[in-house]
Amino acid sequence: QIMGLLITCTANHVISLFQALLIFFFSCFCLQACTAIDTITLAQPIKDPETIISDGTEAFKLGFFSPVNSSNRYVGIWFNNVSVMTVVWVANRDKPLINDSSGTLAIWEDGNLVVLDGQEQIIWSSNVSNPVANSSARLLDSGDLVLRDDSNGGRIIWESFQHHSDSFLTGMRISTDANTGEKN
């Protein structure tokens, strides 16, 4: 009878340990799946309607949107957690995705940040003149989307703050191209 009791206790402990491990691994999976990402990599693009949120204060969101009364799709940055969507930067302002909700924001093979339509055609690019093979894009808490050279210590090779829209955010700088006189 003592032997039977020991076997029962041991079996109960094995089942309890198994249940605890199962709950632990499930919790880790859920935590990873629920954690907001703030970075786009070659292996991890965002597809319409996915978004990324700036790390830290989560003040900004990057993703696909349509203006009111329009079916055109744009990639932009807007304030997160405000009642009225306020867009502060748009990538493909001059070339929207028309009636196409299957766009992708990705790192291209040459290291540029690109917006692709549903047929995987590039409709917008960061057009870095000396692109790098190992890059990533990150949405900062300032609202700046930066493209980094990950093989060179994370050096910034392109940033949305240098390509202004209608909004001016803290940290943006206005510069003038000495050759063209164009303000950036």
Please say if the pLDDT value at position 182 is more than 90.
no
**Domain membership of residue 101 as a residue range:** 39-162
Asked if residue 32 is part of any domain, the answer here is no
Within-domain flag for 22: no
**Number of domains comprising the chain:** 1
- Residue 54 belongs to domain with CATH number: 2.90.10.10
In the three-class reduction of DSSP (H, G, I as helix; E, B as strand; rest coil), residue 43 is classed as coil
In a domain, 24, yes or no: no
144 occurs within a structural domain: yes
Is 52 part of any domain? Answer: yes
pTM (2 d.p.): 0.72
The model's pLDDT over 70-117, given as tens digits with 9 standing for 90+, comes to: 999 999 999 999 999 999 999 999 999 998 889 999 999 999 999 999
Side chain identity, residue 2: I
Q: Is residue 112 part of a domain?
A: yes
Structural domain contains residue 34 = no
How far CA 13 is from CA of 18, 62, 163, in Å, comes to 8, 48, 61
In a domain, 134, yes or no: yes
